[in-house]
Structure 1
Amino acid sequence: MQVDDIRVFIPSKDYETSKSFYQALGFKMDYVSEELTLFENGDCYFFLQRFYNHDLANNLVLQLSVLDINEAYQRIASLEGFAFKYKPIQEERWGKVILLWGPSGELWQITEFIASEQIA
């Protein structure tokens, strides 16, 4: 089997708020249906769904690889009007990471890898 792509479906506690949050974070929104929205940034995509399950949302972890962690941190730190939390940039042996919990409790590990340590 040769895989071409993989896309996650993220639950939303408040669909409209989550859509606005991801747009403010820098993702382009594309309507799919009343229950599903596709978000894109570069060659990366995910679906936001009008569905919420507390256990799923609070155990969902996604890794987002970025080229400039400082730019990502500035964007996150400037977000206003959303119920979310984040931790400052942390140094790891394989790169730098920001932990970001979205409005539904989903956890994003926003990562800038050291070039030779990139995990595929």
Structure 2
Amino acid sequence: MNIQSTDHIFTFSKEHRAIRSVPVGKEVTFHTLDAFSNQIVDETSTFDKIDMNAVNPATGPVFVDDAKPGDALKVEIVSIDLDSQGVMAVAPGLGVLGDQVDRFQSKLMDVRDDHVIFRMRFHFQCAKWLA
């Protein structure tokens, strides 16, 4: 079963309706967007064009059949597969480097064999995690 990246939310609330019902024990693949909802498409993208209400999307939610309020659910993450491209962005006043930059800058980077290619001679191994 696949949950597409077009099915996403930007807040967590019990008021969100599940986009799909999933049987207990069923393997589900979640397709996700990047932290900017794929709004940065090239290195000429500008900060004023980014909809900040559309950052940090979460794919879903799904309902697990037979789950009741208060139940604890055990989830096994089988794998995390990376896209072939990633994005990095800095802006004044935002994030760890926000006090060290004077303008918005973005960088698109290739991802190969679980490594980010920052520049041809700088490769960094990816730490796969969920946020």
Q: How high is the TM-score relative to the length of structure 2?
A: 0.20
> Quick check: which has more Rg, 1 or 2?
2
Q: How high is the TM-score relative to the length of structure 1?
A: 0.21
Bigger proportion of residues as strand? 1
Bigger proportion of residues as helix? 1
